[in-house]
Structure 1
Amino acid sequence: MRDQELPADGLSIEPTCRIEFGPGRIAALPRLIDELGHRRAYLITDRGVRAAGVLDRVLAVLTEAGLEHAVFDDVAANPTLSTVESGAAGLERFGSAAVVALGGGSPLDAAKAIALRAQPRLPGLPLLAIPTTAGTGAETNGFGVIEDPATRRKVYLGHASVRPAVAVLDPELTTGLPARITAATGLDALVHGIESLSSRGANPISAAYAAQAVALVARWLPVAHRDGTDLEARSRVMLGAHLAGQALTLSGLGLVHGLGHAITGHAGTPHGVALAAVLETVMEFNADTAGEAYADAARAMGAGGDAAAAIRCARDLADGLEIRAPLRDLGVHRDMLPSIAAAATADPVTRNNPANTTEAQLHDLLQTTY
């Protein structure tokens, strides 16, 4: 791995959260809530988590410990501002409690905004995060990506006070994930690692997290995709996704996510699927500027150390997961492309891309993936 340039004024980095990692770790939840000074919990999740039986497993732990709790499970795949308002209203009715975010990126993102909105003033209510997918890394930071339906753009809501105090990483909660969701969320984690390596905000600490994340996800995601009950594969992908979250929280992301957010906002395409559609094209666009970073990604994926190898590995992994498709097959109409390009240009993550971009260039990139 290349030496990362050190900022002239040095580094000041705070660990993102406490980690409780391992099979069966949800058993510690009552103690963790108690350590935050609460004996009541407000759970924020979605109906898919409830239908899969994961919510019942968590509620059983709380009930056995005698902790009063309430559930808000009306979080959609892309939480909106109205979701935040509804969840916050329920939390205000329930009263003071620790907020427990249970699910994929959508419930975790919504929970941060809800924990802020339910309070009349800062700080927000204390939050614990229990991811049930291995992909978003949303448990590592204090901001949520929320959709504004009026503009069909993503907005970022958050504050340091709602950064999860504890991330409970229990891989047993992911063993029932369907292969398609495993692929989409895992691809998101891989992109987090690759973009964190190449981001303008990369530093030696974020690069170390990102390289290990890429290595873990590239090696173990195909295994977890083939056999969802393989607990070792699930554990390693979950840890890789968390490390990728640690990396992106320090470094920021880039154009793959800028375009992915816009595609999802306009066409409702699942986030990881949208990323897969543009990953190769964006990496090719960035290759001259991000060659050394992509070489690091290639080595982490076990290939030769150059940008071309990284692009090939990323493409082959997405194809092996059967997740890559042209935009025309993902609900994107050609007349959406100009507004998708405009939304991606306005997205703050795009400013972190290693190569400079214009709206016209992004429109051209979208045309090549259509």
Structure 2
Amino acid sequence: MSETRKLSSYELVLDPKPAAHFGVGAVSKVGELAAAQGAKSALIITDPFLGASPICAEVRGSLEAAGLAVSVFDGVTPNPTTACVDAGSDAGAAAKCDILIALGGGSSMDTAKGVSLGAVNPERGVALDYSTEFKNSGIPIIAIPTTAGTGSEVNAFGVITDEITHKRFYVGHSSALAKAAILDPKLTVGLPAKATAATGMDALVHATESYISARPNPYSDGIALQVVEMVSQNIVTACTKGDDIEARSQMLLASHIAGVGFSHTGLGLVHGIGHALGGQFNIPHGVALCLVLEEVLKFNLPHRVSRFARLAFALGVGDTAKNDAQNADAAIARIAELVKQVGLKGKLSDFGITHENLSSLANDAVEDAVTNNNPVAPTREQVIAIMEKTL
């Protein structure tokens, strides 16, 4: 497949995204934004830690000051499951809420999308899959990310694990797209270094996979290159100096715009394998991606040499005196170096994965919808070979 396509040969729909309110202290706007939606009763969707935090208290105070009744569902788990979404859906129905506040990382965002639909429809579990024709539109969502990585606030679909099969599927509907997003860098300052690293590398992978995808376009290309530059320049500082508000600001905005970019290209095999690892072994998403990142990029390299070469310059390691092949190798080496610098270098065996597990993981990865956007369609055997190198 050619690395580039003639723009005149295809149609491109640049769909609308939620209005994003960026700035230190922007979280104070949540009550105003909820009231502007005509809401009277809000349900905050979050995890137990954030539910007991001053951040949640501040969100609640802003909503109540704007005249809304507020309740909290704090049952979100990492790698959210069908049980998590179903419990939230029941809570939303019981509260008779008319707006949801998704507060947290990608897990809270993804859970909220399922709850948006489940609270007003009878479907539960895998029946909340995006292919379902729902009778009622979802409850409006305002998204407030407290991590910088997923970009989940800009799309209408969430990744959920089926507790029965341990496979991941996509909940969502066009009506589950957030009505607004609040990007407040101060909310990410308290994030521990490992979580900062894992979510930050997720943003870098979003941009990288978007740029080398089977469906590139100039709009997403520009976003991807900018995100790669922002993340590569700021992730180490964000991890080692967590109170650096400038590094936190750069990472949060990079995460958000990466989400805008990849929504028009899709992702690829790194995410396909990452979803399988999360579903079967409950490995945190960003950590799972980093376990296979270098080997998947090497697998894709022959099909995207010139694009990897351009990534080298965004990563700060490009050299005009070198050819594309040399710069492409430098790009992958720099990404691998970043994984080590932020403490996420690891092996599949660190998580109890053995050779006997690879076949099932490969099946799930190849069947995952994101893998369809990889620059070359991998076979099950090729995916197994990639994972063998990371055992």
When normalised by structure 2's length, the TM-score is 0.91
Task: Give, in whole Å, the separation in 2 of the partners of 1:300 and 1:228.
Answer: 24
Match of 1:166 among 180, 189, 194: 180
Shift, 1:51, TM fit: 4.3
Equivalent residue letter for 1:367: E
1:212 aligns with 2:226: yes
Equivalent residues of 1:328, 1:334 under 8 A apart: no
CA gap of 1:358–1:296, structure 2 versus 1, over 3 A, is: same
Q: Is the 8 A contact 2:272 2:368 kept in 1?
A: yes
Q: Deviations over 1:210-267 (max 9, x none)?
A: 1111111111111111100000000000000111111111110000000111111122
Q: Residue 355 of structure 1: SS of its match in structure 2?
A: coil
Counterparts of 1:27 and 1:4 in 2: how far apart (Å)? 44
Cα distance in 1 for residues equivalent to 2:162 and 2:60: 31
With over 3 angstroms needed to count, the CA separation of the structure-2 counterparts of 1:36 and 1:66, relative to structure 1, is closer
SS across alignment from 1:75? coil
For this pair of structures, how many residues does the alignment match? 369
Residues 293-343 of structure 1: per-residue CA shift (max 9 Å, x gap): 222222111111632111011001110001110111133233211111111
- Give the CA deviation at 1:150: 1.8
Instruction: Describe the SS at the equivalent of 1:133.
Output: coil
CA distance in 1, matches of 2:368, 2:51: 32
2:128 matched to which residue of 1?
Answer: none
Instruction: Tell me the secondary structure at the aligned position of residue 303 of structure 2.
Output: coil
Q: 1:194 aligns with which of 199, 202, 208?
A: 208
Alignment of 1:58-97 (within 5 A): 58-97=59-98
Is the Cα–Cα contact under 8 Å of residues 183 and 221 in structure 1 kept in the other structure?
A: yes
**Aligned residues: CA RMSD:** 1.4
Among 256, 274, 294, which residue is 1:260 paired with? 274
Greater CA deviation, 68-77 or 116-125?
Answer: 116-125
1:45 is matched with 46
Counterpart of 1:130 in structure 2 is 144
Does 79-88 or 97-106 show the bigger shift?
A: 79-88
Could you tell me which runs of 5 or more consecutive residues in structure 1 were left unpaired when the two chains were aligned. Answer: none
Q: How far apart in 2 are the matches of 1:179 and 1:312?
A: 22
2:157 to 108, 124, 143: 143
Q: Is residue 2:51 matched to residue 1:11?
A: no
Q: CA deviation at 1:133?
A: 0.2
- Counterparts in 2 of 1:227 and 1:5: CA distance versus 1, 3 Å: farther
Name the SS of the counterpart of 2:389 in structure 1: helix
Structure 2: segments with no counterpart, 5+ residues: 122-134, 319-323
Contact 2:31 2:64 in 1 (8 A): no
Cα 1:238–1:280, aligned 2, differ >3 Å: closer, same or farther? same
Cα deviation code 1:119-163 (max 9, x no counterpart): 232321111100000000000100010001222211011111111
Contact 1:109-1:146 within 8 A present in 2 as well:
yes
* Larger deviation, residues 207-216 vs 186-195: 207-216
| 1:343 partnered with 2:364 | yes
Assess if the C-alpha contact under 8 Å between 1:3 and 1:204 holds in 2.
Answer: no
